[in-house]
Amino acid sequence: MIHPHCIQEMSAYTEGRERDREAGGIFLGSYRGAHIEITAITHPLRMDRRERFLFDRSDPGHQAAAKAAWTRSARTTTFTGEWHTHPEDIPAPSARDLQTWNGLLAKASEPLVFIILGWSGQWYGVGFRGRVYPAKPI
């Protein structure tokens, strides 16, 4: 489950001047049995690389936000995936996206959620055991 305010916050980066460069961040949430609950996101930060056809999440503030959430929640809120935008109506993962996600999955012990937002639609995926599967939001 993705809290509606998270979708609203991410969608702001597909409008107006924000749509000129890719944007992204991470998901913070909890694992509830077979379910993943996304309760917060990080936004693009100063040291991230934002270009027309590239978002590189390189600012250490994303990791710091995940660690702070983990500590504040008594170790129940954690990194649950990542999101970014694409400069197209209906997005699909690029080869670079899949390569980046495979690197994250190699280190993950739990499933991860991936979302790409386009101007008119979104792409959703869940990564588990080294593979990324297209998904539908609930």
- pTM to 2 decimal places: 0.95
Q: CA-to-CA distance for 137 and 117, rounded, in angstroms?
A: 13
Strand order of the sheet with strand 131-134?
A: 35-41, 24-32, 78-85, 112-117, 122-128, 131-134
Instruction: Specify the amino acid at residue 26.
Output: I
pLDDT confidence of residue 31: 96
Q: Given 15, 18, 22, 110, which residue is catalytic?
A: 22
Cβ atoms of 127 and 104 closer than 8 Å = yes
Q: What rounded mean pLDDT belongs to the chain? A: 95
9 counts as catalytic? no
Of 49, 48, 42, nearest in space to 26 by CA: 42
Residue 102 has pLDDT above 80, yes or no: yes
Of 97, 84, 65, 82, nearest in space to 23 by CA: 84
Catalogue the E-assigned strands of 77-121. Answer: 78-85, 112-117
pLDDT, average across residues 117-126? 96
Q: CA-to-CA distance for 136 and 126, rounded, in angstroms?
A: 9
